[in-house]
Amino acid sequence: MPTVHRTTFGRAHGQSEIDLWTLDSGTGVRAEILTYGGVLHSLTVPDTAGEAGPVVRSLPALDDYTDKNPYFGAIVGRYANRIAHGRFTLDGTTHHLPANDRGHALHGGPDGFHTRIWQATGDRTDTAAALRLTLHSPDGDMGFPGALDVSATYTWTPPEPSPSTTRPPPTGPPSSTSPTTPTSTSVTTTSSATSSRSTPTPTSPSTPAPSGAGRRL
């Protein structure tokens, strides 16, 4: 039976307590998510031989995420990628953002979503486990106009029946090397955002930021 549980991982910047949430399928699939930045800290799945092993890189301590590798495994926002020269025009108003990457605004600024402590709610049924993260970004946050409410959900669901388990039995002579198809499992992430204003479209650092609207976490 799948489980969802929470433990303490450390304190961000020596102040706020950070939780580590674990989604465990009970069959070898295990995901660990931090409330700091929504970081996918660890993901373990079985291989075709049934041996569980990690499929994403993990960092050992919270300081490794907060200081040395600020975007590692994290949810970035309000904007992913760069906004040229740290400015854009929306509805006739030019907005200025912190230029945190060689004169350009990267991944929502130095205090973007990757640095925030997300609110977390775990849930499970007899066959699934989920973690929902939510965050409120107020009007003017990192220079962006309009308030934004964001949610991201990590969900484990059981595998679909393998074709090998539904295939009719063979009619010919038995084979000594009949192949089997391993069952799969699914860990998915969904995200949503609701805003009173729109966000700018992506730009390369070499081009000026356009007017207009446009964005994933």
State the number of CA atoms in the 13 A half-sphere of 202 facing the CB. Answer: 10
Q: Across all residues in the chain, what is the average pLDDT?
A: 83
* CA nearest to 189, candidates 38, 6, 83: 38
pLDDT exceeds 60 at position 125: yes
Task: Answer whether 102's CB lies under 8 Å from 206's CB.
Answer: no
pLDDT digits (tens, 9 = 90+) for 18-39: 999 999 998 899 999 999 999 9
Pick from 63-67, 82-86, 159-163: least confident? 159-163
Q: Is residue 34 part of a domain?
A: yes
Q: Is residue 15 part of a domain?
A: yes
Q: Is residue 125 part of a domain?
A: yes
Q: Is residue 178 part of a domain?
A: no
Looking at residue 189, its pLDDT comes to 66
More confident residue, 184 or 197: 197
pLDDT digits (tens, 9 = 90+) for 35-77: 999 999 999 999 999 999 999 999 999 999 998 788 999 999 9
Looking at residue 6, its pLDDT comes to 97
* CA nearest to 142, candidates 191, 99, 103: 99
More confident residue, 134 or 187: 134
pLDDT exceeds 50 at position 135: yes
More confident residue, 163 or 95: 95
List the helix and strand counts (H, then E) for the chain.
2, 13
The pTM (predicted TM-score) of the whole model is 0.76
Domains of the chain: total: 1
CATH number of the domain within which 101 lies: 2.70.98.10
Q: Is residue 201 part of a domain?
A: no
Q: Is residue 26 part of a domain?
A: yes
* Local confidence band at 169 (pLDDT 50, 70, 90 cut-offs): low
* Local confidence band at 160 (pLDDT 50, 70, 90 cut-offs): confident
Q: What are phi and psi of 61, to 5 degrees?
A: -135, 160
CA separation for the pair 210, 42 (Å, rounded): 38
Q: Is residue 21 part of a domain?
A: yes
Looking at residue 150, its pLDDT comes to 97
The domain in which residue 156 lies consists of 3-160+185-195
Residue 111: count other Cβ atoms within 10 Å of its Cβ.
12
pLDDT digits (tens, 9 = 90+) for 85-95: 999 999 999 99
Q: Is residue 92 part of a domain?
A: yes
